[in-house]
Structure 1
Amino acid sequence: MMKFILIPDSFKGTLSSEQICEIAKEKVEKHFPGAETACVPVADGGEGSVDAFLTALGGSKVSVTVKNPYFEDMESYYGLIHEGKTAVIEMASCAGLPLVEDRKNPKLTTTYGVGQLILAAAESGVEKIIVGLGGSSTNDGGCGAAAAVGIKFYDKDGKEFVPTGGTTADIAKIDLSGRAKVLDQVEIVTMCDIDNPMYGPTGASYIFGPQKGADEAMVEELDAGIKNLSRVIAEATGEDISQVPGTGAAGAMGAGMIAFFGSRLQMGIQTVLDTVNFDEMIKDADYIITGEGKLDSQSLRGKVVIGIAERAKKQNKNVIAVVGGADDSEIDKAYEMGVTAVFPINRLPQDFSISRHHSKENLGYTVDNILRLLAAK
């Protein structure tokens, strides 16, 4: 019996990874009736990550009342997989940009709700928590999340407060001693696909602040606050993590995950592959079909297609990449890294503004033709 592994990333703005899996699976069943098909939709840690893991592995979604970006109560959730042993949290579910709508202001928003989700998951008895960063409305360096699990922040007058993006500059001391003990029993992994440092020209505030509502003056203010937070974290922990790649992710939440939660930052695709036990899954696979919106130099840094190809190469497996577009100058490198073949889906010389509306059909035609060729062997 033939076995196909379908493990695509989304085509941003056109097709979700779940939709791609559905289309590809339908074509596999058409050309290879009775074939075994494993669907693993990939999410990058942002909105939809919990659902992607639940689709791939089964499990349940748990509702929790937490604080939204403006400290208001809201219903959020986390996912439970691996028979309740692993929790999956997406930061966007309670600190995401869509939740602030026309109230964008990274000086005022908080990650407090994310900490509440982490604590709720830990208290449920899980052994591991996966936290997805992405799509945040915040720039507080994870201080809100830290406060939610018992870490205390003090200003120069010794007054305790919960820092937001606009008050990280006021932090004079951090007391880690009150952190919830239950967290000591849990492994925490953070999905993080960017390598920005905490502060500076390529840091959290300058690169991501504007999309969260910060003007030029506010960006400078936010950056100064994160720089101060970095200094106080170093005093409290004895480690300067400011230049660790990824610490600037999600308003410097990457830094907060390391400093306050003892987490390691890991590329999203590696987290997904570990979680679904990919190496074991592909042992008897004939073909692995993956893809992403565009295969380019960014892909070669370990994004979805290359992350999968490098693992599959160790077992000499065939990896077919179906992509929205491809940079020809990078394809040879992709082949060297384990990709067997690359197929862009666009069938006519059309501008993306037109072709994006035909992505579903174009993907279906492309996968259909690939499978026709495989079936004719």
Structure 2
Amino acid sequence: MKDVILTINAGSSSVKFSVFEIAEGQLTQLALGLIDGIGAKATFTAKKSSGEKTEFVLDQSHHAVDHKIALTAVLDWIEKEESGTNVVGVGHRVVHGGPVYSEPLLIDAENIRILQTFEPLAPLHEPYNLAGIEAAMEAFPKAAQVACFDTAFHRQHPYLADTFALPRKYYDEGVRRYGFHGLSYEYIHRILRHEEPVLARGKVIVAHLGNGASLCAINAGKSVASTMGFTALDGLPMGTRCGQLDPGVVLYLMAEKKMSAAEITDLLYKNSGLKGMSGISNDMRELEASSEQSAKDAIAYFVRRARREIGGLCAMLGGLDCIVLTGGIGENAVNVRQAILQDMEWIGIHVDAEANARRERIISEKGSPVVALVLKTDEERMIAAHTSEMLGLKEPLVPAVS
């Protein structure tokens, strides 16, 4: 009988999952999958580490597919395709831990009630994360359920790093800079600690650049500043999200354009960023392939904001030893990486254009005062590691990545 950990990332219309075997203190990924189209025509897709793929449309002749039905489908697939396994823990990505939770949490009914109070802080994510937890508790009643928070890595920030220039009562009520993508940042730090221990003890900026994008300043393994704030809208422009925005724009949209809160939410979360600026796509690959000026402008704005934030975080750190690029754009968009890091010698980054073009792990010149790395992130493995630790196992050694 193999002990396995299941990781769940539940959204409004999808559930992503991964299956990891625990053996001799190591985590081995056995499969990953996706249930997409929850609430509509839902499809189940899973791929084993061997490459074998399963895909089918979920039966919704009696009921529309919800999170409960989706997790039941995952259970059925595991029992059929990974026979002889015992799901000992289920790790959940939960976007918001509020001001309360700074580390993973073993879930019980009382904790769920507390987490529900954070739904107004992340209304587009938290309710569905919790729906996934409740469905998993029913589908896997004997497994430990562990919440892993995207905000937790940033919770040791000092007051000045988290506050807004508002009356103090709002900070006390929870209106503060939380930061997100914490699971990705924590994973990258563990990789550095394993592969580059000297750099891991220094001043590091990690750029998580994907459809969601942010940067984090890490000093001696601790997050000291993040570009994301109260919500996942702040900081860099993203695939469909606006990034940094003068709050007066929101007041203008309300007063002059008579837009409702729902309409503004839809604009800022779903129709801004690269998609809104280009009028073409939220996908950086499509924008790079386009000859349209609007696509070029969207990319240039993304690069400009990233460079500006790197400078600001470097100031917060008081210097820089290492910069890591990760996420879909950070790992794959060679030209965007080059544009972000070029002419950064003033803070010690000497990018090696040829190494970058060859997609090497180290893309800074030999002898560069600041080491520039490209590392693949793995939030699912980070969740699995946290879950195994909550079960009493020692921290699994994260594998080397390139």
TM-score, normalisation: structure 2: 0.25
Asked which structure has the greater RCO (Cα within 8 Å, sep 6+), the reply is: 1
